[in-house]
Structure 1
Amino acid sequence: MSVNGKVIPHTPLAVDFWQVRKCPGTRLFFLSHMHSDHTVGLTSTWSNRPIYCSPTTATLLRLKLQVKEKWIHPLELDEPYLLPMDDIGKEKLTVTLIEANHCPGSVMFLFEGYFGSILYTGDFRYTPSMLHSRQQATQQIKEIIRRHPNHNVVIGLYALGKESLLVELAKEFKTWVEVSFERMQTLKALELPDVFTTEPGAGRIRVVEQSKICSANVHKWDKEQPTLAILPTSRPLVPFHPNVHVVPYSDHSSYQELEDFVSALKPTSLVPIVAMWFRDQDDSYRMKNETGRGV
């Protein structure tokens, strides 16, 4: 699995980077969100330095990875915090957590200190246009379901993200959303509305891991009961079955949104952390994890 984290040069800071042997001089560790490609190397045996993150990510960190409580330091969003950068407190920095609009608990970090100002975006979806594309995708999913009133619905998702979509669908179609016991633990930790169940067959909509949406499973589900499979994703997937619907629902910024973000911020420089561009289903582009200096 790829490591989507970074030790920030000329500072003792690391974000989403947990390979301690490769960064012996790092003192402050930050976690932007709980997607697995940002927690590579972080386990229940972590005992090196405090981990700073949002309160929601802190809850998920305890639940998912069983990191010991003493190492988890949740910080509220939009509040500047002064943190020591050495053992004697001679050097300090200010960090502010900013909503990233990516998944529950996801944040950007604004670091300010002797090195200047650094905005570490991680994965994010820039406002204001971000809501428009999500609303379009949600409406498209609702229309697909409405056109098939006698079908059950299976939605393929990763372990974290798009919970608001599930809540909206549950309310729209007045049904329970069936999930696994493991996902239910996460949903309870997030304190979402009571629309989820682990009881098989209790609702018309069921959530599975995205990898479970395959030809064999779709054929099996359809034999038991007419079933739609929906993949809300920005990945360029091609539907492989008439009952499989790929809807471009993204939790990342499009290329235009990235341009708007940079234009608004006017950083003195941009440092890509993962220098890879991905073409989305809607012909937009996104680059994962940028750091903007000189905010």
Structure 2
Amino acid sequence: MPKGLPFAVDTWSSESHGKRYHFLSHAHRDHLAGIESRASYPIYATRVTITIVLNYYPRLDEAIFVEIKVGDTLIINDADGDFSVTVCDANHCSGAVMFIFEGVFGNILHTGDCRLTPDCLQDLPLKYVTKRGKEMVSRFDFIFLDCTFGRCFLKLPTKQSAIQQVINCIWKHPHAPLVYLACDLLGHEEILIEVSRTFGSKIFVDQSTSPDCFNTLALTAPHVVSNDPSSRFQVVRFQGLYQRARETLINAQINHQPTPLFIRPSTQWYASKARAHTPSLTESEQDEFGVWHACFSIHSSREELELALQLLQPKWVISTTPPSLAMELSYVKKHCFTTRWIPDDPLWRIFKFSFKKTILDPALAKNEMVPLPISIDDVPAEVLEPVEIKLELTQPITLFGRARFGILDDLATIDEENSEYISHEICNLESDGMSLSEKSTMELHVDKQAKNEQRKNNGEKSTKELQVEDGIDVGESTEELEKEKKDLIVERDRNCIGSSKELNESLRQLYRSRNVPVPRPLPSLVELMEASKRVKISRKSLNSSYSIENL
């Protein structure tokens, strides 16, 4: 945890337990891990969040919570210096908020989970969204940012647009006797409220199978909840949705009954790469199980994240949702991690690191070049001898929740060309439908073939027979085909561009510190296509020769 901060956000661990103040952004369970055993007074949260958490964990004492409201600004008198906390709407789910902390540690925005639309940004304090000339009136030193879809390039529709997709889908199926809505998660209550209002009907929620959804709706929108299982609109759980949909639709078809309607508002199906075509983001689509999908998201799209950062212009951005990293965003690449590590950088304040003034000359802090007092020819030869420098990486520092920050990793200079190459290679991998594990398996196969070729050159015996599909030994012609394939594999291995060995050491260290595989070289697509053609032609000629010999 940052030693320079007296508070923790959405974190319930042994380290956070020693903090004097605790803040809870919303009631999703991944932000509550450990709260039952590590909770301590005071925990600041909205009334909706407090109520939902107490439903989840009845053994928690309500007295440890302090209720806050959107728009409130609290002044907290702390021994290390007073600081203020401003509460803003997160546009995520019922009760979800963002926190703005202002004190001796700097200005910090913690978004929790959020959907940063333009309307949401305009609700921030005016000084953070207003410019005086070219400069912001006030800037955030840090933004702890929800980067859930930081790697996803889909242009996600707004919540209102996605809800309209759901309503339009229901209108297009007027004869559906039952409409099953997979909206049992906290954050989907907006959909249920609008469906109930549009069609003038309450929605059945089975309290025995979906207690969390029932309790949340009973708290936030009791007027839409029905206990009547014969209601046309019913909430179903996402778990087992596809199997239930398939069985229900098949039974209706066998019994010649009207077809029920299954709708799942989510982004997960759209972000999946397992489909042959790109689905529409503007209208609902049906999958192979009969479930209709609408692209509904309670997290910011990559485009929204970029626009928000361009507006707010923070000095540092840290992702709270790994493996999606803030450094993958264009704004962060351009404006963060290039900061001069000067003594008054806000980073040192939140970690309470001592920074010796002798490490960096003040002139360098102003990006000025300092001329050397002597020429290079005047330096003794022994001074110019190469010196081996060893960099020992420390473990990433825990910030809030899942947020991590590797100080020494980020001190290393990141090669822009290598960074762009890695992004390009990873995109090519994903676009070809090949996972990283499959790619690793392929590379191991290539390495094995190359080693076999090397043993052959050293006089070792290697396999000379190639088994065709019908198991026939084709003798010398097969040897030529095998040699051709091996030569191609070795050549492809030799010609691969962008090997991980070409990446500089600091970049490889960066990948390993984040538990991300170092990118491996991609095979040449042209060579693969030519290999496929040559193998097909050779096999065809071999089979023809075999057929002629047996006539």
Matching residue of 1:120: 110
Task: Tell me what 1:178 maps to.
Answer: 204
Structure 1 position 61 matched with structure 2 position 61:
no
Deviations 1:137-159 (A, max 9, x none): 12221221112112111111343
Match in the other structure for 2:76 = 83
Q: Which moved more, 1:170-179 or 1:27-36?
A: 170-179
Local SS of the residue matching 1:194: helix
Which residue, 324, 336, 344 being the options, matches 1:277?
324
Counterpart in 2 of 1:148? 173
TM-score normalised by the chain length of structure 1: 0.82
Aligned to 1:96: 86
In 2, the alpha carbon distance for the partners of 1:47 and 1:277 equals 28
Deviation sequence 1:72-123 (CA, Å, 0-9, x none): 11112212101233xxx45322111100000000000001111011000111
Contact 1:156 1:211 in 2 (8 A): no
Shift of 1:49: 2.6
**205, 208, 225: which one pairs with 1:196?**
225
Letter in 1 for 2:23: F
| C-alpha contact 1:170 1:177 (8 A) present in aligned 2 | yes
1:117-139 deviation per Cα after TM superposition (whole angstroms, max 9, x unaligned): 10001111112278962222122
Are 1:29 and 1:52, in contact at CA under 8 Å, matched by a contact in 2? yes
Pair 1:30 & 2:23 matched: yes
- Structure 1 residue 133 and structure 2 residue 126: aligned? no
Structure number with larger C-alpha Rg: 2
Distance between the aligned counterparts of 1:132 and 1:241, measured in 2? 23
Contact 2:184–2:235 (CA<8 Å) still a contact in 1? no
Question: How far, CA to CA, are the matches of 1:212 and 1:155 in structure 2?
Answer: 13
Q: Which secondary structure does the structure 2 equivalent of 1:209 belong to?
A: coil
The answer on 1:164 being equivalent to 2:164 is no
Q: How far off is 1:242 after superposition?
A: 4.9
Per-residue CA deviations over 1:4-39 (Å, capped at 9, x if unaligned) read xxx4452122111111x2335312111100011111
Local SS of the residue matching 2:218: helix
User: Equivalent residue of 2:261, what SS?
Assistant: strand
Residues 227-282 of structure 1 show CA distances to partners (whole Å, capped at 9, x for unaligned) of 2211111113566535201211001111111111111111111112223339xxxx
> 1:189-248: per-residue Cα shift (whole Å, max 9, x none)?
22x2512112211x2111122223122x11333326622211111113566535201211
- Residue in structure 2 matched with residue 212 of structure 1 by the alignment: 240
- Which blocks of at least 5 consecutive residues in structure 1 are unaligned? 1-6, 279-287
Aligned to 1:51: 43
Change (3 A) 1:214 1:228: same
Provide the secondary structure at the position in 2 that maps to 1:117: strand
Task: Name the aligned partner's letter for residue 210 of structure 1.
Answer: F
CA spacing shift, 1:197–1:46, aligned 2, 3 Å: farther
Contact 2:246 2:289 in 1 (8 A): no
Shift of 1:50: 1.4
Distance, in Å, in 2 between the alignment partners of 1:254 and 1:90 is 38
Contact 1:178 1:198 in 2 (8 A): yes
Deviations 1:22-63 (CA, angstroms, capped at 9, x unpaired): 3353121111000111111122x5552311112221222222
Q: Is the 8 A contact 1:184 1:198 kept in 2?
A: no
Letter in 2 for 1:200: P
CA separation in 1, counterparts of 2:194 and 2:232? 14
- Please, what TM-score do these two structures have when normalized by structure 2? 0.45
Judge conservation of contact 2:26–2:95 (CA < 8 Å) in 1.
Answer: yes
CA distance in 1, matches of 2:173, 2:316: 50
TM-superposed CA distance for 1:174, in Å, is 2.2
Contact 1:123 1:289 (8 Å CA) reproduced: no
Q: Which of 233, 236, 240 does residue 266 from structure 2 map onto?
A: 233
**3-state SS of the aligned residue for 1:73?**
strand
Between the aligned residues of both structures, percent identity stands at 30
C-alpha change, 1:158 and 1:36, in structure 2 (3 Å) is farther
Maintained 8 Å contact 1:13/1:27: yes
What is the distance in 1 between the residues matched to 2:186 and 2:196?
18
Residues 129, 257 of structure 1: 8 Å contact kept: no
Q: Partners of 2:241 and 2:192 in 1: how far apart?
A: 17
Q: Distance in 1 between matches of 2:245 and 2:63?
A: 45
1: distance between equivalents of 2:12 and 2:233? Answer: 37
**Which amino acid in the other structure matches residue 52 of structure 2?**
L
Letter in 2 for 1:133: T
Q: Is the 1:179–1:196 contact (alpha carbons within 8 Å) kept by the matching residues of 2? A: yes
The answer (yes or no) to whether the contact 1:167–1:193 under 8 Å persists in 2 is no
Matches of 1:173 and 1:41, distance apart in 2: 41
- The 3 A distance-change label for structure 1 pair 8 and 159 is farther
